[in-house]
Structure formats: structure tokens, C-alpha cells
């Protein structure tokens, strides 16, 4: 493979993994940034392969680290220099998950370590990878199962320990396990039609003509992708904004909000804009939508996307959704709050490793502050959807209870046409989807009223 990037393929992967870890970038974003510097005739092929490596290594990171830590002596993989740890992870992944001949996997990693560090560290990694080669993962997992069942599941399915405990508690053992399994399945794509440019039937025909087999879903303007020949984002129809790629449950939010033409809508955590644009399209570009987000980078991407989609009624505002206050109140509010993202593990495996108990506590404080601020911005009788892509009750039902008991909202009885109901005493009034049941992100939606 000929690349003009001054490092080899394994170093490139280690670079991307380190970016994801240290700067908390998404896999997609880290890949995009790194590949901006890559030239050469094999660029596209390398990009596809890099994407597959990154996605799988992030997915299996806990299991990979278990193998590494089982053979390392006196140090843990997480304590190594992050870049060195990532090179080691790539070696373990190739050997134990991808079936690369151990000598070949070891050789390319050791060469990368020698180039980047020195001979002594190359020798160290060589010895570790030799031990990895003879390490019996199945036997070690069996021994672990005897000692600590939760830890065993957490490593076998490569999920954070807190998540395994949480879903077994929430759904029971059998169903919790089904969720873990479904999170490790290949990503499912959904396509939402842009009604400003086309309609669902014409879009279905267009997609079928271009080798994308689709089927209808419980959400009227969303198609489920069953099969495709070339990446969907390479289609002209995508580049021209005839459709967007949006998760099924995420696309239900705008319908639950039910915006009407001419209304004023506030989106308090808008970027990258899927729900804002959906609402704009349902309102047929009438009224006004104020889209707030505190990430300038994400707002800039939103600005570009808006033009492609032909959305004209959205004003972007760089502000803190916990404090933003407009002169006039709003008819409707979308609060798609920042969250632990624990419902998106199939789509974004890197988020599995980002949230611990402390960070979850902090994000819940942000969610509550946003709920309070939403109330201040909503007119009397105005309505709001509160949604998250989290599986946790404290980010969902508990926050809705907080909105009812401490802030002054009422719950709206919405006739959800699909999905599950939630937990606690308000459970019957809210929407939940789960990856193992609905083949989309695990998601939460509640409709509230001032």
C-alpha cells in the first residue's frame, strides 16, 4: 500500500486512536483530521481499512486491554505512554481478533515502535507480543467467570463494568445480555427524506436505482437501509441534500414535538443539527428556529449542512444552553441534552470508554440546568421534548420527575406509536427504544408542557 504520509499504516492507526482518547474526538472526526494529511494513490483504500480498524479496536478495547494486562508484568497497558499502548493494542487486535499471522503482526508493530521510540522499547513490545501469542483468552475468561461474573461479561462483550451492572439491573439478566450482544453488531443505517427537496417514494426509487435496498419504518419519513453497494454518503442525492443519515429514534423527536407552521422554536443543544433541520423541514421553512450550541466547531458544520439541505428558517447561536435567554418566549423547545451517550455504543463504540460515575454526575447537573432554562424560555402552554441517547434512569425519567416536581412542567400524554414505555411511576407516559429491540440507538423521549 503506497502512502505519502510519512508514517506507516500502523502508526497512522495509533495516531487516530490517540486523538480519540486524548482529545475526546469521535472516531469519524479523528479519522477525517488525520486523513487530511494523507496523500497517495492508496488513500481511499487505506481510509476504508483505517475506519474498520478504529471501529473494531474501540469496540473491543476492554477485551484487548484484558489480554494486554494479563501478560504485562509490573505495569498496566493504561499506564504505558498512550501512543505505545495504542501500538500494542493494534498488535493484540491483529493477532487475536483479525487472525493475522502472529509473526507478521509482531514484526510490523515492533518496527513501528523502533521508528517512533528506541530499540529497548521495541524489544519490550516484542516480548509482550510473544506472550500475547501464547495467551489462551478462552481459558482466562473461564477462570474469570468463576471469580467475578460481571467482570467476565464486561470483558467478554467489551463494555464498561458499570454499564453491565446497570443493564442487568434495569432489564434483567437475559435481556441485559441481549442488549450487550446487539451493541456489538454492525451498525444499522437509516435515511431521512428531506421534504424540502423530494418525497419518500421518489427517494426510495432513487435509492433502489443506486443499489441501496431500503424498507419503510414506524417513522413515516425514515427508511431503513437493508443493503448497499457503495457508501451511501458517496451518492449525488446525499451530496445535494435530498436525504440525511439519521438514527430512527432520533428522528422520532421532531414528530413528537409536532411543530406547526409559523411557530418560534428553540433548540438548546442543537449541533450537529439533525433535529433542528427535521423540525425546520416539518415547518416547511416557515416561522423561526433558534439553534443554540456551545461548540463553535459543530455549529460551523451545521451552517454548511443547512445550505445543502435548503433550510432557511434557522438562526445559529453560539451560547450556553444553561443560560441562553431570548427577548421573546418560544412556542416549542427541543432539549436533546448532552448525555452519557450510553445508548449509542453500536454507533460510536469510543463513547463506551468516556464516561465514569463522576462525569455522569456532572452531565446530569448540566441536563437539570438546561431543563430549568428551557422553562424560562417557554411561553405558557408552550411544549418541549426532552430527549437523550442514554439508557440511564437518572438522565431520563428522574430528570423528567425533576422537571415536574421542581421546575413546574407538566407531562403531556403523547400517543407514541412505537417503542417501549419507560421506568418509574411516570414510565407509562414516556418513550424508550433499545438497540436489541428496535435495531436503533437506545433512546429516551418525553413531551412536557409549561
Ligand X SMILES: C[S@@+](CC[C@H](N)C(=O)[O-])C[C@H]1O[C@@H](n2cnc3c(N)ncnc32)[C@H](O)[C@@H]1O
- State the residues that interact with ligand X by CB under 6 A: 250, 269-275, 292-295, 298, 320-322, 336, 338, 366
Burial of 98 (0-12, 13-18, 19+ CB in 10 A): middle
Rounded least distance, CB 269 to ligand X, Å = 3
Distance CA 17, CA 13 (A): 6
Beta bridge partners of 432: 420, 444
Q: CA–CA separation, 85 vs 90, rounded Å?
A: 9
Which one, 272 or 427, has the nearer CB to ligand X? 272
Residue 336 is labelled as binding a ligand: yes
In angstroms, what is the minimal distance from the CB of 183 to ligand X?
18
Structural element, H or E, at residue 282? helix 274-282
Per the DSSP assignment, residues forming a β-bridge with 444 are 388, 432
How far apart, in whole angstroms, are the C-alpha atoms of residue 260 and residue 62?
47
CB nearer ligand X, residue 14 or residue 269: 269
User: Is 134 annotated to bind ligand?
Assistant: no
- Output 19 or 333, the one with its CB closest to ligand X: 333
Check 389, 391, 400, 429 and give the catalytic one. Answer: 389
How many Å apart are CA 215 and CA 281, to the nearest integer? 22
Spatial distance between the Cα atoms of 131 and 27, rounded to a whole number of angstroms: 29
| Residue 389 annotated to the active site | yes
Nearer to ligand X, 320 or 439 (CB): 320
The three cell numbers locating residue 391: 439508557
Angle (deg, nearest 10), helices 102-116 and 119-134: 160
DSSP 8-state class, residue 432: E
280 is in an annotated binding site: no
How far apart, in whole angstroms, are the C-alpha atoms of residue 340 and residue 212?
32
Distance CA 307, CA 292 (A): 17
293 is in an annotated binding site: yes
Q: How far is the CB of 216 from ligand X (least distance, A)?
A: 22
Q: How far is the CB of 413 from ligand X (least distance, A)?
A: 24
Cβ nearer to ligand X, comparing 26 with 120 = 26
Residue ranges for the binding site for S-adenosyl-L-methionine?
269-275, 293, 320, 336
Residue ranges for the binding site?
269-275, 293, 320, 336
* Residues with catalytic roles: 389
Amino acid at each position: 500500500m503506497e502512502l505519502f504520509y510519512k508514517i506507516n499504516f500502523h502508526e497512522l492507526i495509533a495516531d487516530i486512536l490517540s486523538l480519540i482518547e486524548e482529545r475526546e474526538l469521535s472516531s469519524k472526526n479523528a479519522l477525517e483530521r488525520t486523513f487530511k494529511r494523507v496523500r497517495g494513490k492508496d488513500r481511499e483504500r487505506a481510509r476504508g481499512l483505517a475506519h474498520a480498524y478504529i471501529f473494531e479496536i474501540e469496540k473491543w478495547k476492554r477485551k484487548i486491554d484484558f489480554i494486554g494486562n494479563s501478560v504485562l508484568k509490573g505495569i498496566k497497558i493504561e499506564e504505558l505512554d498512550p501512543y505505545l499502548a495504542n501500538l500494542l493494542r493494534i498488535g493484540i487486535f491483529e493477532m487475536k481478533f483479525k487472525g493475522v499471522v502472529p509473526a507478521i503482526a509482531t514484526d510490523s508493530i515492533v518496527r513501528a515502535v523502533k521508528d517512533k521510540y528506541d530499540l529497548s522499547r521495541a524489544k519490550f513490545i516484542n516480548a509482550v507480543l510473544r506472550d500475547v501469542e501464547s495467551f489462551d483468552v478462552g481459558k482466562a475468561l473461564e477462570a474469570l467467570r468463576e471469580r467475578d461474573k460481571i467482570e467476565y461479561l464486561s470483558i467478554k462483550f467489551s463494555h464498561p463494568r458499570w454499564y453491565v451492572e446497570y443493564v442487568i439491573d434495569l432489564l434483567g439478566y437475559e435481556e441485559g445480555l441481549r442488549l450487550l450482544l446487539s451493541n456489538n453488531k454492525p451498525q444499522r443505517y437509516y435515511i431521512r427524506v428531506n421534504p424540502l427537496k423530494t418525497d419518500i417514494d421518489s427517494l426510495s426509487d432513487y435509492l433502489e436505482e443506486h443499489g441501496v435496498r431500503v424498507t419503510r419504518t414506524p417513522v413515516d419519513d425514515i427508511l431503513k437501509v437493508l443493503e448497499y453497494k457503495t457508501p451511501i454518503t458517496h451518492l449525488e442525492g446525499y451530496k445535494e441534500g435530498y436525504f440525511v443519515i439519521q438514527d430512527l429514534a432520533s428522528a422520532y423527536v421532531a414528530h413528537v414535538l409536532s411543530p406547526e407552521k409559523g411557530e418560534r422554536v428553540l433548540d438548546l443543544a442543537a449541533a450537529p443539527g439533525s433535529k433542528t433541520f427535521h423540525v425546520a423541514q416539518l415547518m416547511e421553512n416557515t416561522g423561526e428556529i433558534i439553534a443554540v450550541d456551545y461548540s463553535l466547531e459543530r455549529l460551523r458544520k451545521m451552517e454548511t449542512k443547512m445550505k445543502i439541505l435548503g433550510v432557511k428558517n434557522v438562526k445559529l447561536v453560539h451560547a450556553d444552553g444553561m443560560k441562553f435567554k431570548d427577548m421573546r418566549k418560544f412556542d416549542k423547545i427541543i432539549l436533546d441534552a448532552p448525555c452519557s451517550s450510553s445508548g449509542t455504543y453500536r454507533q460510536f463504540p469510543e463513547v463506551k470508554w468516556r464516561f465514569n460515575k463522576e462525569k455522569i454526575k456532572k452531565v446530569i447537573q448540566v441536563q437539570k440546568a438546561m431543563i430549568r432554562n428551557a422553562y424560562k424560555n417557554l411561553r405558557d402552554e408552550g411544549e418541549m421534548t426532552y430527549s437523550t441517547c442514554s439508557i440511564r434512569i437518572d438522565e431520563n425519567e428522574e430528570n423528567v420527575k425533576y422537571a415536574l416536581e421542581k421546575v413546574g412542567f407538566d407531562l403531556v400524554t403523547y400517543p407514541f406509536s412505537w417503542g417501549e414505555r419507560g421506568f418509574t411511576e411516570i414510565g407509562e407516559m414516556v418513550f424508550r427504544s433499545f438497540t436489541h429491540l428496535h435495531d436503533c440507538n437506545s433512546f429516551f423521549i418525553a413531551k412536557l408542557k409549561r
